[in-house]
């Protein structure tokens, strides 16, 4: 009986070892399979990520190429626009110059026929008669003008050019207050072109006359030629 029981116990232990060995092999196989599956998943994921990165890189390059092309097209359009603007400005300047030249030609032709000269937006008339300063001014005012007011050296040169060597009355007087010379209309004298020693300051010499050499004071009742002036801005060619 003891030997039988001993045999049974031995068989039970052997059976348990077999079961344990089988379970260990199964666990090992499962672990290997799981590792294979995990490695496969990692490989697939890496391939997927690499593919996406490659696609993104290609798309990025394509976008950069498009941006570069658009930038070049924009620069070309800007250059064309600048060139067209310069051409337009050049044509506009030429047109303005031609228009001004045409207007000046028309003005000169019209007013020269009618006895008036055009200069710097003003009209000038030089008489062929001799009158006193007061009568000369009356003549100008009856024609919507007044005796000339000389504002600068350029205008003084213009007066000399149209008057020549002739003395002409200008719109300058100190009749209201001795020694205080004013232009017709009441404005103060700013620029002056008196000849050396002029005005003389003699009483009775209260009106200014312009010679090629400069201005002189003179008696207002003396007969001289005169120059009328009126603004061209308010004048309309019929």
Q: What is the pLDDT of residues 49-108, one digit of tens each?
A: 878 777 778 888 888 888 888 888 888 888 888 888 887 887 777 666 656 666 666 665
Residue tagged 């300047």 (tokens): 93
122 plus 223 within the same structural domain: yes
- Is 236 among the domain residues? no
User: Residue 226: what pLDDT?
Assistant: 96
107 plus 129 within the same structural domain: no
pLDDT > 70? residue 169: yes
pLDDT > 60? residue 111: no
Last residue of a domain, one of 96, 114, 132: 114
Q: What is the pLDDT of residues 205-214, one digit of tens each?
A: 999 999 999 9
* pLDDT-above-70 percentage for the chain: 79
CATH number assigned to the domain comprising residue 198: 3.10.100.10
Taking the CA atoms of 85, 89, 94 and 98 in sequence, report the sign of the dihedral they define.
Answer: positive
- Is 226 among the domain residues? yes
Give the total number of structural domains in the chain.
2
Residue tagged 């205080």 (tokens): 180
C-alpha dist (Å) from residue 106 to 50, 102, 103, 237: 82, 6, 5, 9
Domain that holds residue 223: 117-231
22 plus 10 within the same structural domain: yes
- The overall longest dimension of the chain from CA atoms, in Å, is 180
Last residue of a domain, one of 83, 114, 145: 114
- Beta strand segments in 41-188, E: 116-119, 122-126, 146-147, 168-173, 182-183
Mean pLDDT throughout 25-40? 81
Q: Which of 56-70, 126-140, 150-164 has the highest mean pLDDT?
A: 126-140
227 plus 157 within the same structural domain: yes
Average pLDDT, the chain: 81
Last residue of a domain, one of 84, 114, 144: 114
167 plus 65 within the same structural domain: no
């Amino acid at each position: 009986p003891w030997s039988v029981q001993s045999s049974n116990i031995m068989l039970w232990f052997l059976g348990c070892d077999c079961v344990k060995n089988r379970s260990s092999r199964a666990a090992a196989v499962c672990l290997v399979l799981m590792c294979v599956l995990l490695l496969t998943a990692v490989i697939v994921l890496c391939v997927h990520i690499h593919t996406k990165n490659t696609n993104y890189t290609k798309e990025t390059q394509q976008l950069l190429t498009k941006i570069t092309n658009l930038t070049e097209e924009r620069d070309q359009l800007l250059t064309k626009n600048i060139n067209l603007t310069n051409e337009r400005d050049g044509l506009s300047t030429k047109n303005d110059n031609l228009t001004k030249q045409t207007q000046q030609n028309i003005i000169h032709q019209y007013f020269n026929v009618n006895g008036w000269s055009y200069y710097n937006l003003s009209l000038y008339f030089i008489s062929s008669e001799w009158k006193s300063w007061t009568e000369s001014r009356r003549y100008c005012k009856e024609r919507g003008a007044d005796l000339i007011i000389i504002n600068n050296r350029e205008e003084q040169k213009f007066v000399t050019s149209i008057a020549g060597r002739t003395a002409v009355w200008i719109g300058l007087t100190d009749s209201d207050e001795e020694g205080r010379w004013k232009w017709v209309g009441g404005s103060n004298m700013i620029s002056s072109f008196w000849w050396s020693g002029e005005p003389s300051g003699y009483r009775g010499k209260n009106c200014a006359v312009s010679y090629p050499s400069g201005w002189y004071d003179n008696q207002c009742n003396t007969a001289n030629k005169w120059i009328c002036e009126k603004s061209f801005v308010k004048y309309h060619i019929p």
